[in-house]
Every structure is written in C-alpha cells, then in structure tokens.
A and B are shown apart, each in its own frame.
Chain A
Amino acid sequence: MNAGTRVLLDVSGLQKRYDSSGVVAIESITLDVKEREFVSIVGPSGCGKTTLLKTICGLLRPTAGSVTLDGKLVTTPPPEMVLVFQDYARSLFPWLTVAGNVRFPLKKKNLAGAESTRAVGAALAAVGLDRFAKQYPWQLSGGMQQRVAIARAVAFRPEILLLDEPFASVDALTRAELEDLTLRLRDEFGITMLLVTHDIDEAVYLSDRVFVLSPPPSVVVREFAIPLGGARDQEATRSDPRFLSLRNEIHHLIGRPLPAAEAVP
C-alpha cells in the first residue's frame, strides 16, 4: 500500500566469505527493496543475517556480487542508509545524554545549531522520548534505549533503515510497541525499512515482503509477498487467516529447509 514501485536497494548475487577462516557465511543472495517498502529477512539462527546486513550497508566487503542504493554502488556506508543494531547498549554512547546521542551524527551533516536542535526534538518526539532528552541512555529501560538508537537513526534522515534484530533484547509487550513504532516511522518519515529477524510472526506482521534464508552458506529460499494491507494492528492483523497461513507456511519452510545445493538458483 505504502510502498512505491521504484527499486531503492538492489542486492545482487551477494556473497561473503570470511578471509580469516574461509567460512562462507552467505553463498549468494539476491533481493530488492522498493521505496517506502517494509521488507524482512528471516532465517534459522546462524544463517549469517548480521553479516548480510553489515555487507549490505558497506561495513563489510562482499566477496562477490554487488549492492546498489539508488543506482549507486555501495562500497562504504552511504549517508542514505543507517543500520540499527540489536545491542543498543553497545551502539549508544553512554557518556552522552539521550539528546546528545541523537545529535551526535548530525554534526557530520553541517546543520545549523537551531536546525539540528529541531531535528533532535522531532526525532525524540517521534519515538516518544521528548521528556527524556536530558537523561542518559543507561538510565532508561531496554526498550527506551532502543528507541534512542532508532531516534538517532531517524534524525540522520536516511532513505533506508536496516534493522538487525532490533527488538530481540526486549520483553514481548515492549516488542509490540516498538514494532508499531517502526511502522509509524515508515509512514511519518517515508523511510524504507529492511528488517532482519528470527521471529517469523514479527516479519509477517511488519512486512510487505519477506525473504526466507537457508542455513549457511545462505541463499534466499523463497520470497513471500504479504498482502495484508498498509494498516497493521497487533490483534486484528495477527488473527487474520491470511497472516496465520503465511506464518505457518514460512514456519514449515524454515523447519524443513531445502538442502543448500538444491536451493542455489
């Protein structure tokens, strides 16, 4: 519904073999993400999801294949793409306040003082943390800390957010809140989302499309379109028969994955 038709991110035949160990984490992954689309990647644990995201955003160099963002080849992290890590405690800066953390990357953007203050305020308001600007991240709960990390990413105004299991370290209720928050941010700020998760329900609930990975060396086993419409609701969507049949189908697929050799396109 929300998604445009222009391909924003194009991942083609991406392979990652670690130089030191020779282990192939990712065999060959091809996928695309359209403008303002919410796309999830699910797979069994240890299928190289974090490696995949780090390679997509240019932190790691692929051993084969390519990533293009807006038609430009990605070789180092581009400013239009921000990765949010699972471990907020390690990615946030504990010596800075909440506002200081959100403001931190804006210095690079050469924004005027007032402008960056406004951007920080808007991002904190969007994640519901405007009252906590002067606190330190470690004074907040886990879910709130992850909101700080998300606000920091949003304030940077990327075109696409890569989310690496961002809700894996919070409780179920907070998790649902954060899920809906990301949907809202996609709509409010027009940010495209690429989420990596091991939670199939979460992937189906949030996404327009879901890519299922095989165990390593990973390939895309199948792509699912999720025709559940633009507006999602924790209760209504999750009890929708289409939701249930999709999640069952994906569960089935991951539970009995195809042998890697057969799945290679």
Chain B
Amino acid sequence: MKVRRTALGIATVVVLLAAWELSARLNKTVYVPPVTAIAATFVHEWFSAQFRDQALPSLLRMFAGYAIASTCGVAVGVVIGAYRPLYRLVDPVLQFLRAIPPTAIIPVGILLIGIGDTMKILVIAFGAFWPILVNSVDGARSVPQERLDTARIFGLSRSSTLLTVIFPSALPGVFAGLRTGLSIAFIMIVVSEMIGSTNGLGYYILQAQRTFAIPEMYGGIVLLAILGYCLNAGFVAVEHRILAWHHGQSARTV
C-alpha cells in the first residue's frame, strides 16, 4: 500500500515535469525554459561556491531570526498563558499586533536599523514571533485545571509548576506555533533579501530575473522549494520525537 502510494506520487511528478518539458520545447519561449535546462543550470549553479555565497547567508539569517522568535515567543507565550490576569491585560494588544502582515514591517526595519543582517534577522524574528507566541499562549491556557490543582496539592512552587507542569502541557500548542513560525520565517527571508540585500537567495532570484538569467531564476526557486521541504521534514521529525506522548495519547482517545 505504501509502496504503491510512493510510486503514484513519483509518477505524478514525472508526468508534470514531462508536460512542462514538452510545452516549453514546443512554445520555445525564453520566459519558461525547459526543465532540463533549469536542471542543468541548477547543478552548475548550486553545486559550487554559489551555495556558500547565496544560500548559506539566507539560512543563517533565517535560523538566527527563528531562534530569537522561538525563544521569546515560547517563553513570553507560556508565561502569559499561565497567568490569567496578565493574559486578559495583553490579549487585545497581541491580537492587534499579530494582525500586521509581517512583510509590512520591513520598511520600518530599514528605517530604524538600515539594510543589513541585523534588520533581516529582526524582521524574520518579528514575523515568526507572533504565531509562536499566540499558539504558546493557547497551549498554556488549555492546561486542565485538575493538573494545576495536582501541582498545588503536591506543594509545587509557582515557578516549578510553570516549568514542569504548564510548559510540557503547552508543548502541543507550542509546536503548532513553531511550525507556522518556520514557514513565515522562510517567507520573510526571501522578501527581506529582495528588498534590501547584496546576497542571499531572495537577492539571487530577483537579480537573475533583472539580468534575464531565466534558468537561474527558476533554479533559485527550486532550491528554495528543496530547502523548505527539508526544513519542514526535519521539523516534523523533531516534533514526532518530542511529542511522541501527545501523538500516542491522541491516537488512543480518538
């Protein structure tokens, strides 16, 4: 069953690529080069120093921004979710701020910080922060009352209740936020590099388009797709390890 599904998936990809190849060769337009041309360019471009010069900076900025967003988002979110008065106080503000499309903050970043790595990292962090924060808040708020009462009955202090009861209980929500945050961080890196940068994948793709290097432009997009796919797969693997108890429990009760 699983083999058949995998085979079917591969077959679909092959058919789509063949259709692209065929139509590109028949139409002979420069704007949509054949798949084989893109693939050749891709190998030539990315199995070289180009990866270090363009892809690596993007990834490093993204990880830096994402790390800041994760640390702050989870810590602040769990604390807000754990203390109801604090939640009631800040929730309206959070709901308003999270509604800002994160890309809209880039001009502000350029204005205040200038064009540089710091701006990009902070803009990525800003974008990824909100979904992580909001989901961590929800996760910490959804801890069953019995579990909190149990912590009190056994004499746990507020800080150890937060760390050893509320935080693990909130993890399913935290991970939902981290996952959304990751995809937003990925979007933010491309956009921020397109607007103000001298390297990185966003810069590369825009530059390729402006200099009419069409196969290079598509090659950059393909690389982004591959990176995004790998990041998500890696994330899911980590999540499955850490949340094994949650998935096991859900599978039981559903």
Contacts and interface: CB of A to CB of B under 8 A. Distances in A.
B5 interface: no
Interface string A179-217: 000000000000000000000000000000000000000
A45 interface: no
Interface of A: 54, 57, 59, 76-77, 79, 81-83, 85, 87, 89-91, 93-95, 104-105, 108, 136, 138-139, 156
Q: Is the interface of B mostly helix, strand, loop or mixed?
A: helix
A87 B249 contact: no
B152 interface: yes
A83 B153 contact: yes
B181 to A, nearest CB: 22
B245 interface: yes
Interface of B: 144-147, 149-150, 152-156, 164-165, 168, 171, 245-246, 248-249, 252-253
A83 B146 CA distance: 10
Contact of A139 (B144, B152, B246, B252): B252
A85 B149 contact: yes
Given A87-B146, A138-B252, A139-B252, A94 B245 contact: yes
A93 B146 CA distance: 11
Contacts of B248: 136, 138-139
Contact of B155 (A59, A77, A95, A136): A77
A59 B152 CA distance: 8
A104 B164 CA distance: 9
Nearest to A81: B153
B234 to A, nearest CB: 22
A94 B249 contact: yes
Given A94-B246, A95-B171, A85 B146 contact: yes
Nearest to B245: A95
10 contacts: A57-B153, A59-B149, A76-B152, A82-B154, A90-B146, A90-B147, A91-B147, A93-B168, A94-B246, A156-B154
Nearest to A88: B146
Nearest to A162: B153
B146 A108 contact: no
Contacts of A79: 155
B180 to A, nearest CB: 22
Given A59-B149, A59-B152, A136-B245, A93 B165 contact: yes
Given A91-B147, A94-B245, A139-B248, A108 B155 contact: yes
Nearest to A86: B146
B120 to A, nearest CB: 36
Nearest to A140: B252
Tell me which of B146, B153, B155, B253 has the highest count of chain A C-beta atoms within 10 A of its own C-beta.
B153
Contacts of B145: 90
Contacts of A54: 149
Contacts of B164: 104
Contacts of B150: 85, 91
B235 to A, nearest CB: 19
Contact of B245 (A76, A81, A138): A138
Given A95-B245, A105-B156, A136-B245, 5 more contacts: A57-B153, A76-B152, A81-B153, A94-B246, A138-B249
A139 B253 CA distance: 10
A57 B154 CA distance: 11
Contacts of B149: 54, 59, 83, 85, 91
A208 to B, nearest CB: 24
Nearest to A59: B149
A90 B144 contact: yes
Contacts of A77: 152-155
A14 B248 CA distance: 43
Nearest to B144: A90
Contacts of A108: 154-156
Contacts of A95: 168, 171, 245-246
A67 to B, nearest CB: 14
Contacts of B147: 90-91, 93
A91 B155 CA distance: 15
A54 B146 CA distance: 11
Contacts of A156: 154
